[in-house]
Chain A
């Protein structure tokens, strides 16, 4: 079974700073997908970024980028020029390559952007 570990329960940074959220995972599979989801307070889960394990290039989406280290089984999220609206719970998630299963989530990191 896969496991996902997020070692930072809470982080706080000033607006406009850059912040990196860490995620490690454990799997014996070679083909899989990794995701970062954002869950604002009392609002629904939304996708931030997706990475296919077979792609060496790190995914980027505007201010969001990942550092995917397959050998180390590490998948960190970098948020540049952080904004107040980035305040949320951030969840790292793993999906088996065949997709014949649900997402395995970490416990989340509560990110607070201070004005």
Chain B
């Protein structure tokens, strides 16, 4: 049973560029979450999916942020027109929900640096 994987692990980009991150959840996990973690802080919830449906997106930081999970398996998080303030670790987590909320298992994260 492989864990949650994220790609790339590191990304350096210039301000104004678009970036896309990928998350592959644990097989058969029906919920997938995205978080942002800045230095010295706990992760901050951004959005989540149940299967292919995005059930919460009001926490996305701005309209430059968007996420998809087209087939209910992997997910992508895109940031358009990146800003230096977007520099952070982006974490993905997945869980299996059967009646009660399941424990979320985290991936290794994608560290973004915007120059």
Chain A residues proximal to chain B, CB less than 8 Å: 4, 33, 35, 37, 43-47, 50, 52, 91, 93, 95, 97-108
Contacts and interface: CB of A to CB of B under 8 A. Distances in A.
B103 A47 contact: yes
Given A99-B100, A100-B55, A101-B56, A44 B107 contact: yes
Contacts of B43: 45, 91, 103, 105
B101 A91 contact: no
Given A33-B101, A44-B107, A102-B45, 17 more contacts: A4-B42, A44-B106, A44-B109, A45-B43, A45-B93, A91-B42, A97-B101, A99-B97, A99-B102, A100-B55, A101-B45, A102-B33, A102-B47, A102-B48, A106-B42, A107-B42, A108-B41
B40 A45 contact: no
Nearest to B35: A102
Contact of A100 (B56, B93, B103, B105): B56
B106 A107 contact: no
Contact of B106 (A45, A50, A104): A45
10 contacts: A44-B108, A47-B105, A52-B100, A99-B100, A101-B45, A102-B46, A102-B59, A103-B33, A107-B40, A108-B40
B28 interface: no
Given A45-B91, A102-B45, A103-B43, A35 B56 contact: no
Contacts of A43: 108
Contacts of A100: 55-56
B56 A105 contact: no
Contacts of B102: 99
Contacts of A50: 103
A33 B41 CA distance: 21
Interface in B71-115: 91, 93, 97, 100-109
Contacts of A46: 106
Contacts of A44: 106-109
A114 to B, nearest CB: 22
